Copies of this chain bind each other. A is one copy, B any other.
Amino acid sequence: MTTTHSSSGPPARTPRGSARARLIAAAHQEVRRQGYAATTVDQICTAAGVTKGAFFHHFESKEALAVAAAEAWTERARPMFDMLPHTRLEDPLDRLLGHIDFRFSLLHGPVDGFTCFIGTMVQDAYATSEPIRLACEASIAAYCEALAPDIEAAMDAYGAPDGMTALDLARHIQSVLQGGFVLAKTTNDSAIARESVAHLTRYVRMIFGRT
């Protein structure tokens, strides 16, 4: 309710000009819960509190919204790499472990609350929509590239197994997270994802010789 209403004002009019952002946020929410194909345009509109007219004014198609939402998701993740306290630590390995700890700390509460929009969407869209797949690929790549510098620095400082690269390990971290999301969906519980990330933490510590 943004406007004054004495009794239960019906439609709770949304501020003009915010429809695009609201639609993207609604897409994140709905797609994370149901996947891309199962989410209808009407559902997204209802969740966003706008009508179809607004939807197709801002986006050419459902697919176009998906691509825009993927880009927005990447932007949403950016603060993880420069705004959080652990990013100020001196030691690159501390920064890396701090990042994983942070991801671990997110794995609580209902499953819809921590799963990945990109990972969910790519599962049922990669074969049917190349634009969506490419947007998802770009988003994952951006995450891994943001993680790589600290890994690289840790490798320089502490050494690393032969044949391992920074991007390699970054992708493995992402892989464990995505796998944890999938398993959490099977049990409808976050514990199984935390377990897996705990193994990941142990692995990273062992690689760099930190007990």
A residues lining the B interface (CB < 8 Å): 33-38, 111-112, 118-120, 122-124, 126-128, 133, 136-137, 140, 161, 168-169, 171-172, 174-180, 182-183, 185-188, 192-193, 195-196, 199, 202-203, 206-207
Q: Are A195 and B182 in contact (CB under 8 A)?
A: no
The contact sample of 15 A-B pairs, CB cut-off 8 A, is A34-B128, A35-B124, A37-B38, A37-B124, A38-B124, A118-B186, A123-B124, A137-B186, A140-B183, A168-B199, A172-B199, A175-B192, A178-B178, A182-B182, A202-B203
Task: Give Cα A196 to B165, complex, Å.
Answer: 12
Q: Is the interface of A mostly helix, strand, loop or mixed?
A: helix
- Contact in complex: B171, A175 (CB < 8 Å): no
Is the beta-carbon distance between B176 and A175 smaller than 8 angstroms? yes
- Rounded to whole angstroms, the CA-CA distance of A186 and B134 in the bound complex is 7
The oligomer's copy count stands at: 2
> Do A120 and B124 touch (CB < 8 A)?
yes
- Residues in B whose Cβ lies below 8 Å from that of A34: 37, 124, 127-128
Are A185's CB and B122's CB within 8 A? Answer: yes
Measured in the bound complex, the distance between the Cα atoms of B122 and A137 in whole Å is 21
Q: Is A169 touching B124 in the complex (CB atoms < 8 A)?
A: no
Closest B residue by C-beta to A165: B195
Do A123 and B126 form a contact, CB below 8 Å, given A133-B185, A172-B199, A175-B179? no
Contacts of A120 in B (CB 8 A): 123-124
In the bound complex, CA of A183 to CA of B111 (Å): 20
CB pair A33 B127 closer than 8 Å: yes
Contact B168 A178 (CB under 8 A): no
